[in-house]
Amino acid sequence: MTTPTRPANPAPLVSQPPTISKGLEGVVVDETAISDVDGQRCRLIYRGYHIDELVGRATYEEVSYVLLNGTLPTRSQLVSWTHQLDQARTLEPQVLAALQAMPRTADPMAMLRTAVSMLGLSDPDPDDETLEIIRRRAVKTMAKMVAIVAAIGRLHQGEPVRPPTTGLGHAANFLAMLLGRPPTELQARALDAYFVLLADHGFNASTFTARTVVSTRSDYYSAISAAVGSLKGPLHGAANRKAMDMLVEIGTAEQVEPYVQRTLADHKRFMGFGHRVYKGEDPRAKHLKAIAQQLGETTGEIQWFNISERLQEAVWKAKQLYINVDFYSASLLHYLGIPTELFTAMFACARIAGWSAHVLEQAANNRLIRPLAAYTGPRDLRFVPLDQR
Ligand code: ACO
């Protein structure tokens, strides 16, 4: 009897081609109890509260508390939270010195990323990643973020950096540090509402970046500096800067139509329009629009609002694109006297609450984030020695 022989090259197993979801579109990678971005109904919920319920009623201090702790603070919890933020807002001399040593031409987001990373260097418990320590770092970083961004703004204008004011709210404190004078009640409320509206937003790119970093059991500061880097891109946080540049380029309401036609002809994007998840208008946009209009009317610079409104209508007519969070953020931040180059860093000042809450949630129930990729390159190549290539 002859022994059956194995074929030299067994027939390859036929396997189904993998399903690829470019940009992870439509992929649900984990659960979260922090926020719900409901794309179909265009709703945004923080810890059970619809943002319409919170904006104009809850301060950023209350919203950051609920995002990080799960429930709204009681009066005494809020006093303690506010006190912790007050205590942590002043920048360490070495962080300030580093910011002062950076080139005047440096991008504010690159400066912020470096400064956040520096905060970790003086952490008293560098090897401790317990939830309690992460929570302490989150409060400290949230408080200092506004001081860092205000310092960047002052240094870019060649002005001396101003310290925070104890007892002033988080948003008002930022404006006082940046502008060198206490803000009006309207300005402080406007920025506070902006911070509330942008505090969290599900598994967006920068938040997912933070969660990915922390999933390797790396530290809080690495996660937040990586998130700042992710937010810096024009398809994410830098769209607010680009939206303001677009308004300036348009210049007058009469120039809106020609601008739209030019942009369509050049196959370029309208910044502050479109969204991966929302199938209609971003639920934050109407609030930002109303605040921008109110500020525009009081500053006497209503043209930026008027151009925005006309552009919103024209882009809808031409391409049925809805506005997103960044569109009216642009005129709103401009009306507050914030230089355009700082806009994306303002977004970071708001989102630090969400990033921190997600870092905590990931650390509390971790599994290493490690997706697969479908390899499309060649196989079985033979190595060619250097002198034969
Ligand atoms: N201007 C012009 N066309 C657009 C825009 C826009 N702003 N947004 C989407 N489109 C069009 C695309 O050209 C594409 O059309 P096509 O299929 O004919 O080529 C179609 O809509 C789908 O676009 P995608 O880029 O595939 O959609 P995606 O879900 O990846 O895009 C994104 C989402 C990146 C936000 C996109 O809408 C965009 O680039 N917007 C401008 C930048 C922006 O405002 N970013 C901020 C987003 S919100 C945030 O991160 C805070």
- The domain spans of the chain are 32-231+342-364, 239-335
Which atom of ligand 1 approaches the CA of 273 most closely? Answer: 7
- Cα of 336 from ligand 1 centre, angstroms: 28
Distance of CA 385 to the CA centre of its chain: 48
Write the residue with the smallest CA distance to atom 35 of ligand 1. 275
The yes-or-no answer to whether 32-231+342-364 and 239-335 have a common fold is no
| pLDDT for the residue numbered 7 | 54
With a 6 Å cutoff on the Cβ, whether 236 touches ligand 1 is yes
> Which residues, given as ranges, of the chain have pLDDT below 70?
1-14
What is the set of active-site residues? 275, 326
| pLDDT for the residue numbered 8 | 56
Task: Identify the CA nearest to 341 among candidates 96, 171, 109, 155.
Answer: 109
CATH of domain 239-335: 1.10.230.10
| pLDDT for the residue numbered 1 | 46
With a 6 Å cutoff on the Cβ, whether 269 touches ligand 1 is yes
Q: How far apart are CA 357 and CA 276, in angstroms?
A: 22
Bridge-based pairing state of the strands 49-50 and 43-46:
antiparallel
180 Cβ contact partners less than 8 Å away, ≥ 6 residues apart: 154, 159, 162
Q: Does 2.102.10.10 match the CATH number of domain 32-231+342-364?
A: no
Task: Identify the CA nearest to 347 among candidates 175, 226, 197.
Answer: 197
Distance of CA 82 to the CA centre of its chain: 22
Q: Are 85 and 138 in contact (CB under 8 A)?
A: no
Torsion region of 24: left, alpha or beta (phi above 0 gives left; psi -120 to 50 gives alpha):
left
| pLDDT for the residue numbered 16 | 81
With a 6 Å cutoff on the Cβ, whether 326 touches ligand 1 is yes
To which residue do tokens 């929570």 refer? Answer: 135
| pLDDT for the residue numbered 4 | 52
| pLDDT for the residue numbered 259 | 98
Q: How far apart are CA 129 and CA 257, in angstroms?
A: 54
